Amino acid sequence: MSDPLFDEVIGILAEAKRRPPDTISPDSSLVELGFDSLDVITTVFELESKFKISISDDHVRTLRTVRDVVEGVRTLIDEKTAHA
Amino acid sequence: MPRRRVAITGMGVICALGRNRQELWDALSSGRPAIGPIESVDIEDLRFRNGAQVRGYDPAAHFDDNRSALLDRFAQFALIAAREAVQDSGVQLTPELRENTAVITGSSMGGQSSQDAGFVDLYRLDRHRVHPLTIPRTMANAGASHISMELGVVGPTYTVSTACSSSNHSLGQAFRMVRDGEVEMAIAGGSEAPFSLGILKAWEAMRVISSDTCRPFCKDRRGMILGEGGAMFVLEPWEAARARGARIRGEIVGFGMSADAYHLTQPAVDGPIRSIRAALRDAELSPQEIGYINAHGTGTSGNDACEANAIRTVFGRHADSLPVSSTKSMHGHALGGAGALEAAATVLALQEGLLPPTANFTTLDPECDLDVIQNQARKLRVEYALSSSFAFGGLNAVLVFRAPAA
């Protein structure tokens, strides 16, 4: 089943590393995709702007896979919606 | 010309731990950190709350209004520290000595707080113009220039900006100029004052600032704490200092530099190893002769493990009993001024025979398997100590200090 949030986040990750989205899967590790520490903070910055969320430093340190990123973003969007 | 011994005859300091040398030492020796809520900036919209600021600082106590207007806080700190250092040295600045004295300062960010304030006028307050003193306040060499003008020093004067290694590079350059006979005296060190909203937001985005405190080499470390301040030193040829009966606080005996050529922000182990080895070689010392290391020790996950690895590689089994501390746990990370503050801590430690601790210490990270001095100063008289700076951009600078002769 298609998951629009996955597609959007993968699009941002693909753009960040200049690679085709179809080379990125939910289980891809960020390190394997070539994300170093500067790539991670830059991409998180993009995600925060795009989804109007705030991702804590502690949370960023736990991100290992694409799935971690998507689920983290989803949780924060859900929390924001619940508080709206 | 043969190499000359280089004596430290004067020291001046202002930072969160104290407004002069004595206050700094009182805090360092008792392991009392100066980390607390940031006061001078509205931190409502910041992810972190704490910093190591100079509390209760009043520029009017040091400068008249006309002078203050020309000086960003970072240059004020440079000047205050230089005044204390020159006074401490007791040196008489004759016209001849003024021509043969260098002023070398380090700063990473210069007066960007002044620039930030100017840009608030421009972009937020829509004033369509910026204060005319913004450029002279912002330039990174302002500290060096003001020291030179106030003291009438007309020798080589410049500023080194290599991020967090700035002060170690400036002190190393000054050391070599005195050692090689290029000048007869140097006033050198560094300063920084990064507490303005624009700069703090930029650091926030780097995600390296701790949300509570700075605990280098600990398992639960969460990053660095920004600090501010400055420290300056008077360096003279040892023979000349002896001849005029100066009190010698210690010596600089070696300086080593290297670049990682690896990554702008991620530390590498190879560069630090090469800079430590270069410093030891320059000092003509074996690793076993080093008795204390004032580490770069930022408290970030990346730096501390990498630095510990470098120390282990260079010092081998000697590292089992080689005391290491990061005084950034107390005075915060003053960026381009950090090396100067740590040089002050190291020189005082050698002079007093008391090694300052890493404050806020909880549990040693097994990846930082070193003899870390934890929370309480260690009474130990050592002859030689290292002070390391490993900057963003992969630029490394290491100084070797010697205790004053008994």
> Could you say which of 3.30.2320.80, 3.30.565.10, 3.40.50.450, 1.10.1200.10 is the CATH number of the domain covering A4-83?
1.10.1200.10
Which of A9, A21, A14 has its CA nearest to residue A70?
A: A9
Give kind and range of the element (H or E) at residue B154.
none
Whether B329 maps to a domain, the answer reads yes
Q: Which residues contact B147 (CB under 8 A, 6 or more apart)?
A: B78, B79, B82, B103, B105, B153, B157, B187, B232
The pLDDT assigned to B405 comes to 87
Tokens describing residue A16: 């960040």
Within a domain: B191: yes
Choosing from B243, B264, B294, the residue where a domain stops is B243
Residues B231 and B276 in one domain: no
Same domain, B209 and B290: no
Identify whether residues B292 and B335 lie together within a single domain. yes
Is there a domain that residue B294 lies in? yes
* Closest-CA residue to B160 (of B231, B110, B107): B107
Q: What are phi and psi of B277, to 5 degrees?
A: -65, -40
Mark whether B191 and B267 lie in a shared domain. no
Q: Quick one: what percent of chain A has pLDDT higher than 70?
A: 99
**Residue B296: active-site member:** yes
Query: What pLDDT is attached to residue B2?
Result: 83
d(CA B114, CA B119): 9
Provide the mean pLDDT of chain A. Answer: 93
Q: Are residues B388 and B268 in the same domain?
A: yes
CATH number, position B391? 3.40.47.10
Chain B residue numbers touching A44 (CB-CB < 8 A)? 207
Q: Which domain holds residue B83?
A: 6-243
Domain ranges of chain A: 4-83
pLDDT of residue A2: 77
Residue B249 lies in a domain: no
Q: Are residues B234 and B357 in the same domain?
A: no
Tell me: the pLDDT tens digits for A7-16?
999 999 999 9
Contacts (Cβ under 8 Å, ≥6 apart) of B318: B287, B288, B290
Q: How far apart are CA B256 and CA B268, in angstroms?
A: 16
Phi-psi region of B236 (alpha: psi -120 to 50; beta: other; left: phi over 0): beta
B164 has catalytic annotation: yes
Residue B22 lies in a domain: yes
Q: How many domains does chain B have?
A: 2
Q: Could A57 and B205 be called an inter-chain contact, meaning their C-beta atoms sit closer than 8 Å?
A: no
- Are B148 and B380 spatial neighbours (Cβ–Cβ below 8 Å)? no
Confidence tier at A1 by pLDDT (50, 70, 90): low
B291: CB partners within 8 A, 6+ apart: B322, B323, B380, B382, B383, B384, B385
In this structure, are residues B272 and B310 in contact, taking their beta carbons and an 8 Å threshold? yes
- State the 10-residue block means of pLDDT for chain B, 406 residues long: 93 98 98 96 93 96 92 98 98 98 98 94 90 95 98 98 98 98 98 97 96 97 98 98 98 98 95 98 98 98 97 98 98 98 98 98 98 98 98 98 92
Complex ipTM: 0.86
Instruction: Tell me the pairing of strands B395-402 and B250-259.
Output: antiparallel
Instruction: Examine the domain organization and report whether B215 and B260 are in the same domain.
Output: no
Name residue, tokens 């381009």: B336
Q: How far apart, in Å, are the Cα atoms of A81 and each of A4, A35, B79?
A: 17, 30, 53
Is B368 part of the annotated catalytic residue set?
Answer: no
Query: Is B1 among the domain residues?
Result: no
Question: Smallest Cα–Cα separation from B194: which of B223, B162, B229, B160?
Answer: B229
Q: How far is CA A18 from CA A8, A13, A32, A64, in A?
A: 15, 8, 14, 19
Confidence at A84, pLDDT banded by 50, 70, 90: confident
Closest CA–CA distance from residue B22 to any residue of chain A (Å): 37
C-alpha angle B142/B174/B4, rounded to 5°? Answer: 160
| Residue-level pLDDT at B126 | 86
Question: Do both B218 and B329 map to the same domain?
Answer: no
Of A45, A54, A57, nearest to B211 by CB-CB distance is: A57
